[in-house]
Structure 1
Amino acid sequence: MSIAHEPAAHPVERTAVRRPWRAAVRRPWRAAARREKLRQETGPMQYMLVFREEEEFLSARTDPERSSAYWGAWGAYIAAINEAGVVVKGDGLQPPHTATTVRLRDGRREVQDGPYADTKEQLGGYLVVDVPTLDAAIDWAARAPAASAGSVEVRPVLPPMAPPA
């Protein structure tokens, strides 16, 4: 049974009440509840682990004195995550100076050599993992060498799009 409500003859104008303390309050249980609901609806999820490394750490790739330690740490990590059977795909990337950035502005294509922004951390590579929970993805991210000398962003991957009808 539904009841139709008539609009008030003289609607009351509501003003927003500012509650500055609410913006500072984090509600992790809400995000966790949303993730859990999504996981229950979709089953195991794929997460992209985006590895960003500080310039000095990234330069160890080609430094004769530091490259064996750099590649040894990554080799051990890649072996462990592959052995766990959770890797869907992934690639390391060439150094930032090999990048080309493309932007479209006012209908004109702008092409720039190198990364668009100078940042402290550079994109070094990514892995897509298929794991049951965000916590499992975070555990793998924390084990990556980039976590100690940069950052690892963990982001859910969108499900495949349906083919056009």
Structure 2
Amino acid sequence: MRYTILLHYPEMMAQGELDQAAIEQGQAAFTRYATDLDSAGVLISAEVLAPTSATTTLVSVGEELRIQDGPFADTKEKLGGIFVIDVGDLDAALGWAKQAPSVQWGPIEVRPTGTYYENGAWTS
């Protein structure tokens, strides 16, 4: 079954907020995590999202579709990236989610996939 691991953590707001060594340490931790998922044969996709300042949100208000700059939700933690995995059950997905480096910085959401589009067709 497919699960998406959604990583929420505080977003750096200013250049230099973290020193280069801390950035490299974080990148190395995420590379190890992605490599472990891939080596286990469960990784489908891994995405690091651009900063929320690059976000555009569409909101339907009545019959009007509004487009606004920035994220809709104003929270301390931001959705920073996702890992899509294919494992046997929720316990396995949670086992992998617990190993995500960002678990120490913010919440991690594990959500089963309802349907997905692959090879020209929707699959449940």
TM over 0.5: same fold? yes
Q: Is the 8 A contact 1:61 1:71 kept in 2?
A: no
1:53 matches 2:9: yes
Q: Kindly, what percent of the aligned residue pairs are identical?
A: 35
CA distance, structure 2, for counterparts of residue 158 and residue 52 of structure 1: 21
CA distance, structure 2, for counterparts of residue 124 and residue 103 of structure 1: 21
Instruction: Kindly tell me the number of residue pairs found equivalent between the two proteins.
Output: 118
| Higher RCO, 1 vs 2 (CA within 8 Å, ≥6 residues apart) | 2
1:132 matches 2:85: no
Equivalent of residue 156 in structure 1, options 91, 100, 112:
112
Name the counterpart of 1:101.
Answer: 57
Q: Of Structure 1 and Structure 2, which has the larger fraction of its residues in strand? A: 2
Deviation at 1:89, TM superposition (A): 1.9
Larger radius of gyration between Structure 1 and Structure 2: 1
Name the counterpart of 1:116.
Answer: 72
Partner amino acid, structure 2, of 1:55: E
Q: TM-score with structure 2 length normalisation?
A: 0.83
Q: RMSD between aligned alpha carbons? A: 2.4
Deviation at 1:108, TM superposition (A): 1.7
Q: Is the 8 A contact 1:74 1:144 kept in 2?
A: yes
1:81 matches 2:37: yes
Deviation at 1:130, TM superposition (A): 0.7
CA distance, structure 2, for counterparts of residue 46 and residue 60 of structure 1: 36
Deviation at 1:62, TM superposition (A): 7.9
Deviation at 1:148, TM superposition (A): 1.2
Q: Is the 8 A contact 1:47 1:129 kept in 2?
A: yes
Q: Is the 8 A contact 2:5 2:111 kept in 1?
A: yes
For structure 1, list consecutive stretches of 5 or more residues without a partner in the other structure.
1-44
